[in-house]
Amino acid sequence: MRYGGRIGTAALALSMIGAGAEAADVRSVYTDLTPAKCQRASVDRETGASARRCTGVAGYTILAESDDDRASVTLAASDGRRYPLKFWDVITPHFSRLGPRAEWRATKEGAPYGLIVRVDTLASAEASKTTSYLAVAKIAPPAVCVTDRIAPGPTANAEARKAADFAAGKPCLTTYP
């Protein structure tokens, strides 16, 4: 395997993490997803669907999307490629909104290989209380997709970070559980 550039560096870090590398080889970088910190990217006047462009890392931006009161994100790479994560298909089909920030898992050099986003939802049509899931995605072009849906709990953040650190070898989620 060749290790060069962003993808190669991330692959090297992932292989090191799998072999028990020190936590110093991995870092978290955060993106604020609140409307005040992102720019409006689009609004569909007919449906009301909208997207906000939020600053990301290493040439990526996050498009925070809302359509029919359901939320998701699309990662936009600096080369113009877009990677829709489709939270409404794999995290929850119910009404949802994004948490206030996204956590990028990256090598110490800054190459992102994972993304964690909180998705607050009414977990069923009958629910009256919001449930927060953590959506974990791998960033390993051409495979950029959600790999894990972490349920709420006292160790959810740690579980999500571990899932992101090992996501490269996992399959993409394709349907809601």
Q: What is the pLDDT of residue 127?
A: 75
Q: What is the pLDDT of residue 128?
A: 81
- 3-state secondary structure string, the chain? CCCCHHHHHHHHHHHHHHCCCCHHHEEEEEEECCHHHCEEEEECCCCCCEEEEEECCCCCEEEEEEECCEEEEEEECCCCCEEECCHHHHCCCCCEEEEEEEEEEEECCCCEEEEEEEEEEECCCCCCCEEEEEEEEEEECCEEEEEEEECCCCCHHHHHHHHHHCHHHCCCCCCCC
Q: What is the pLDDT of residue 4?
A: 35
Q: What is the pLDDT of residue 11?
A: 43
d(CA 115, CA 106): 9
pTM of the model: 0.85
Are the beta carbons of 50 and 68 closer than 8 angstroms? no
| Location of structure tokens 């993409």 | 172
Q: What is the pLDDT of residue 25?
A: 85
* Residue ranges of the chain whose pLDDT lies below 50: 1-22
